Structures are given as C-alpha cells and as structure tokens.
C-alpha cells in the first residue's frame, strides 16, 4: 500500500485539554516544524510550561500526561486537607 504525500487535515488541528477544575489548559499545536505542548494557567492563560516534540503522537501523549498529573495534584491537596484535620483531633 502506497502512502500518500498529502497530510491529513486533522494533523494540523490544535488539540486542547482542560483539567477537571478548569484551572489549567494544555494545548498541542504545530510550531516551527515541531509539535508544541503548552500548559496554561487559567483564566489569564499564563504560560507555565512549553515542550517540543518531533512527532505528533509524542506531543499528544505528553499533553495527556500533564492533564493526568494536574488532576492528581488537586486530589492530593484535598486528601491532605482532610487528613490534616483528622490528625489535629488526636492531639
């Protein structure tokens, strides 16, 4: 099967992911012949992290990793708050 030299339309599409609390956004876009993963802090869209990858699938995987880690961070903060109030009752 021959591979066409034409790029699929979806390959240049910007992909965005948001955290569950909508306080961070991760964007994957094509920039300077590479794929750029950018993490924004919302609502002012301040850039926290940028990383570049030669292949789109690697950039998408890293973006999903960032979203997973940011969502876990919020869960750990909530667990820490509930755990610290239980510990303070013991003293």
Q: Which two tokens stand for residue 16?
A: 């965005």
Q: Is the pLDDT of residue 44 over 80?
A: yes
Give tens-digit pLDDT for 4-13. 566 566 677 8
The CA distance from 11 to 8, in Å, is: 6
Domain coverage including residue 54: 13-82
Cis peptide before 43 (omega within 30 of 0): yes
Question: Of 47, 51, 7, 44, which is closest to residue 29 (Cα–Cα)?
Answer: 51
pLDDT band at 91 (very low <50, low <70, confident <90, very high): very low
% of the chain residues with pLDDT over 90: 63
Other Cβ atoms within 10 Å of 33 Cβ, number: 7
Number of separate domains in the chain:
1
What distances in angstroms separate CA 91 from CA 3, 60, 79, one per listed residue? 69, 48, 20
């Amino acid at each position: 099967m021959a591979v066409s030299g034409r790029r699929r339309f979806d390959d240049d599409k910007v992909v965005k992911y948001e955290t569950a609390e909508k306080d961070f956004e991760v964007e994957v876009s094509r920039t300077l012949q590479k794929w750029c993963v950018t993490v924004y802090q919302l609502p002012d869209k301040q850039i926290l992290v940028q990383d570049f990858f030669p292949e789109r699938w690697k950039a998408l995987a890293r973006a999903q990793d960032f979203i997973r880690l940011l969502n876990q961070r919020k869960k750990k903060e909530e667990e820490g708050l509930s755990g610290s109030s239980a510990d303070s009752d013991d003293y």
